[in-house]
Amino acid sequence: MKKVTLNNGVEIPWIGLGVFRMEDNDNTVQAIETALKTGYRHIDTAAYYFNEEAVARAIQRSGIPRNEIFITTKLWNDDQRSGKVMEAFEESLRKLNTDYVDLYLIHWPVADRFVHSWQVLETIYKSGRARAIGVSNFKIHHLETLKKSTEIIPAVNQIELHPYLSQQEEVDYCLKNGIRPESWSPFTAGKTALLQESSLQELAAQHGKTPAQIILRWDYQRGIVTIPKSSNPKRLAENIDIFDFELTAAEIDQINALNQNKRVGSDPDHFTF
């Protein structure tokens, strides 16, 4: 699995397994184990996904050394509101059965709280219990607020990003400021007919790939780390098999032209959870 270096020198695999909406049960353990056998070395979970224990069990069962797997987890909004950031982090470590995570993210920019939360993440980072810290669902103005009032620049900003929401301005801002952009719901979580788009189908046929692989390659060539979710062995293999072909600049533009600034998830300025 190819990797990219974050702004503090830590390497992150370009593609990870997203495990949102996968329950804390044996099917999930098995799906994550299959992913690890297939070659995944990066897992994206969150306290809010309630499956950190399944992630830990799968890693243990795989026999792969902990230091070969990149684990991301996230601080949930209620723990920001209650100010129990350190406690929430320690609970995630306990459930993940590890003494460090590779990346700890603020899940959403809870207004009036996220600067304080970030300061606690800075303390966690300095203690060595998170190899990198970052944010999720931060718009440029949130990142600017952090920049003015905190010390460490986030290593990653994980945002909703797919061909219907290409986020070019935010991607440019992140890359310019040393923040690695990461895409969540690269396939719109199946909530749209994105994978049936005729232009993606045509590009897929031309390259001997699938529409999903065309999207993941478009992300990679734009400098974006992705974390597609799948529980299906065939699709798990498909989603990491994107490093043997290249899209031309014109083909990238063709995919960019699908942008509608359309979200399938919440707007980070107006979420209600």
Ligand X SMILES: NC(=O)c1ccc[n+]([C@@H]2O[C@H](COP(=O)([O-])OP(=O)(O)OC[C@H]3O[C@@H](n4cnc5c(N)ncnc54)[C@H](OP(=O)(O)O)[C@@H]3O)[C@@H](O)[C@H]2O)c1
Q: Which residue ranges make up the site for ligand X (CB under 6 A)?
A: 18-20, 44, 107, 136-137, 158, 184-190, 195, 210, 212, 227-232, 235, 238-239, 265
Nearer to ligand X, 223 or 265 (CB): 265
Q: At what angle do helices 168-176 and 140-149 cross, to 10 degrees?
A: 20
Residue 145: Cβ-neighbour burial (10 angstroms; 0-12, 13-18, 19+) = middle
- State yes or no: is 49 an active-site residue: yes
Q: Which is nearer to ligand X, 195 or 252 (CB)?
A: 195
Q: Cβ of residue 37: shortest distance to ligand X, in angstroms? A: 16
Q: C-beta of 184: minimal distance to ligand X in Å?
A: 3
Least Å distance between CB 105 and ligand X?
7
CB of 93 to ligand X, least distance (A): 19
CB atoms within 10 A of CB 202: 14
- Whether the CB-CB separation of 103 and 72 falls below 8 Å is answered with yes
Please tell me which residue in 40, 48, 49, 104 is annotated as part of the active site.
Answer: 49
> Whose Cβ is closer to ligand X: residue 1's or residue 127's?
1
Cα–Cα distance between 49 and 15 in angstroms, integer? 19
**62 or 188, CB closer to ligand X?**
188
Min dist. Cβ of residue 251 to ligand X (A) = 19
Question: CB 190 → ligand X: shortest distance, Å?
Answer: 4
Helix ranges (DSSP H) in the chain? 26-38, 52-62, 77-81, 85-96, 114-126, 140-149, 168-176, 198-207, 211-221, 233-240, 249-256
> Which residue do the tokens 């993941």 mark?
216
Q: Cα angle at 89 between 236 and 183, to 5 degrees?
A: 35
Residue number with CB closer to ligand X (148 or 272): 272
Q: Which of 148, 145, 151 is nearest to 123 (CA)?
A: 151
Q: For residues 249-262, b (16+ Cβ closer than 10 Å) or e, as one string? A: eebeebbeebeeee
What is the C-alpha separation between 12 and 199, in angstroms, rounded?
Answer: 30
Q: CB atoms < 10 A from the CB of 271, how many?
A: 14
Which C-beta is closer to ligand X: that of 43 or that of 120? 43
Which sequence positions are flagged as catalytic?
Answer: 49
